[in-house]
Amino acid sequence: GAGVSQSPRYKVAKRGQDVALRCDPISGHVSLFWYQQALGQGPEFLTYFQNEAQLDKSGLPSDRFFAERPEGSVSTLKIQRTQQEDSAVYLCASSLGGSGRVRETQYFGPGTRLLVL
Amino acid sequence: GESVGLHLPTLSVQEGDNSIINCAYSNSASDYFIWYKQESGKGPQFIIDIRSNMDKRQGQRVTVLLNKTVKHLSLQIAATQPGDSAVYFCAENRGDYKLSFGAGTTVTVRA
């Protein structure tokens, strides 16, 4: 079946420009996560949705970062007034169930590589 | 080949040999651990997981060992193949839905 998809795969933005990154999770998956991966590093948690509810946004680095999942399926990560330090790969992951203490596998998309010039 | 000690960023292994990738985790409250494989230009791919009530778990050609006493996790890959060349991350779950990833080990398989 189809996995997690993300678009665009690559994005070049000029400093100060706004960008929007899209994530299509696996159909039926309740939980959706965004991670940021700097070059040579492991992914870092940004935010978590359970259906349309954003339950945790503690990893968002600044108020320039905003995420939404209005209908509980597709999610968009928006970065306003991009800065060079925002250059990274942005990964989306989804898992089947909700949170609580259930440990479920998170399935990752291919990521969007953002380069801010 | 083996990445010895807490963590080595790279591991070179001869095709057909066994690989051992080590990972130290920091939080004694972590109760779920996962190994991911990330190939160039792709997202992390789930390999195998283990819960804290287990010491060992086996999959197809892979085995994960967990030593909670010293907070150490290892991934063993049997008969390493060229397709195993990738960056391997261990991740820990600290009691909620968040995954905390290690720095990663780059495995290169020599023909």
pLDDT one-digit tens code per residue, B29-77: 888 999 999 999 999 999 999 999 999 999 999 999 999 999 999 999 9
Q: What is the pLDDT of residue A42?
A: 92
Q: Residue A12 CB: number of other CB atoms within 10 A?
A: 13
- CB burial class (10 A; 0-12, 13-18, 19+) of residue B9? exposed
Give alpha helix (H) positions in chain B: none
Nearest CA among A86, A87, A68, A89 for reference residue A77: A68
Tens of pLDDT along A28-79?
999 999 999 999 899 999 999 999 999 999 999 999 999 999 999 999 999 9
Tens of pLDDT along A19-28?
999 999 999 9
Q: Any CB–CB contact under 8 A between B25 and chain A?
A: no
Is the pLDDT score of A102 beyond 80?
no
Helix (H) / strand (E) containing B80: none
CA distance B95 to B98: 8
Is the pLDDT score of A80 beyond 80?
yes
Q: Note whether B11 and B3 are within 8 A (CB).
A: yes
Tens of pLDDT along B69-100?
999 999 999 999 999 999 999 999 876 778 88
Contact A42 B42 (CB under 8 A): no
CA distance to A66, A76, A78, B99, B108, per residue, from A69 (Å): 11, 7, 11, 20, 39
- Which residues, including other chains, have CB under 8 Å from residue A89's CB and lie 6 or more apart? A36, A37, A111, A112, A113, A114
Return the amino acid letter for A94: S
Name the band, by pLDDT with cuts 50, 70 and 90, for residue A8.
very high
Of A4, A48, A110, the CB nearest to B97: A48
Is the pLDDT score of B8 beyond 90?
no
Return the amino acid letter for A38: A
CA distance to A102, B52, B82, B97, per residue, from B29 (Å): 15, 9, 36, 13
Q: Any CB–CB contact under 8 A between B91 and chain A?
A: yes
Helix (H) / strand (E) containing B50: strand B45-51
Nearest CA among A59, A76, A58 for reference residue A7: A76
**Smallest CA–CA separation between A90 and chain B, in Å?**
10
